[in-house]
Structure 1
Amino acid sequence: MMTIAINDMETAYTDAACRTGPGSTFVGVGAGDISGLTLTRGIYKWSTDVKFNTDLTLTSSATGVWIMQIAGTFTAGPGAKVILADGAQAENIFWAIADALAFDDGSHGEGIFLAKTMISFNAGSSLYGAAFAQTAVTMISTDIEAVMVSLLI
């Protein structure tokens, strides 16, 4: 069962990381620092590490889909939160991260996180969604509320 789960995660990661159109594709938004931005639905690609240290807002209708393709690490700074607006749904947000994912103290994420290496959740961090890593997950006093996952494959 473990092998099947890992293979499914790797397949989902590859699918999300390689997605293109048909909607808008945004490359390098915020030059890797997406603190304070509001992002509408679409595919976002970064060839760098990505971080946010203040709130990040994702806004669209309930049918809007985001695919975040990050070639490096992804870090949510202390107290930083992903906020959903105008009906956006966590189950429609896919984060394909080629390296590590880190939720710092008190940070909050929304969506399905697919990390090629590891995920760490520091004290007081939280997630509404799901988090899958190919190597390791570390959780310190973390609150995770799962959503139904309908992967892209």
Structure 2
Amino acid sequence: MTTSQAQVPMRFIADASNEFATSVAVSMPWRVYASDYASPTPVNLTTAVLAMEASYTDAAGRTNPDELNLADGNLGGLTLAPGLYRWGTSVTIPSNVTISGSAQDVWIFQISNDLDVSAAQRVTLSGGASAANIFWQVAGEVVIHENAHFEGGILSQTAVTLQTNASMVGRIYAQSLVALDNNSISTP
């Protein structure tokens, strides 16, 4: 194993108040929080977790989808219009996909299993579509493979993994695990 392949543990340095930590892997002004940090961090984290769970439940509870089991869950090469999409299976993005609509349009993707974005593939926006209005509600695991690019907010009931050099515009909320590896994440 070469030096560049070796796993280097991420170091977090608590601030003087012990309310948050910083890391060379997290760009300012972003901070890292943990439930055992000083008050008010535990209360704020509890509030955030409850809000995430409410958002997940809201997205999962939407009815009357515009598309049901579109392309049997293989979204590669598709252009997706605004609306509510539902799959009773996993969803894969094995080749680039486009989300097209205006800045005011909304997309909700309800996925009852996993979401998998293949290596070096892209979810791109067109027509003014905004990542802030795209919601991926996923009951299973989300994996965005190396060098892939993703758009929208992820609400995962289990885990989200961004592999090496994967990037995204959006937010990640997972009820158990978010794993990152040299990723670029920006908010819309």
TM-score, normalised with respect to structure 1: 0.92
Distance 1:38 1:89 in 2: 15
TM-score, normalised with respect to structure 2: 0.75
Structure-2 residue corresponding to 1:19: 62
How far off is 1:20 after superposition?
Answer: 2.6
Instruction: Give RMSD over aligned pairs.
Output: 1.0
1:43-58 equivalences under 5 Å are: 43-58=84-99
How far off is 1:6 after superposition?
Answer: 1.1
Match status 1:69 vs 2:110? yes
**Quick check: which one's strand share is greater?**
1
Superimposed CA distance per residue, residues 98-134 of structure 1 (whole angstroms, 9 cap, x where no aligned partner): 0111100011111111000000000010010101000
Superimposed CA distance per residue, residues 63-98 of structure 1 (whole angstroms, 9 cap, x where no aligned partner): 111000000000110011111011111101011000
1:88-127 equivalences under 5 Å are: 88-127=129-168
How far off is 1:7 after superposition?
Answer: 1.1
Match status 1:144 vs 2:157? no
Identify the structure with bigger relative contact order (alpha carbons < 8 Å, sequence gap 6+).
1
Structure-2 residue corresponding to 1:131: 172
Answer yes or no: is the 8 Å Cα contact 1:53–1:79 preserved in 2: no
Superimposed CA distance per residue, residues 39-58 of structure 1 (whole angstroms, 9 cap, x where no aligned partner): 10000000000010111101
Larger Rg: 2
For 2:70, which of 9, 26, 29 is the aligned residue?
Answer: 29
Match status 1:41 vs 2:82? yes
Q: Which amino acid aligns with 1:66?
A: W
Distance 1:20 1:42 in 2: 11
Distance 1:37 1:8 in 2: 32
Count of paired positions = 145
For 1:2, which of 18, 21, 45 is the aligned residue?
Answer: 45
Answer yes or no: is the 8 Å Cα contact 1:95–1:114 preserved in 2: yes
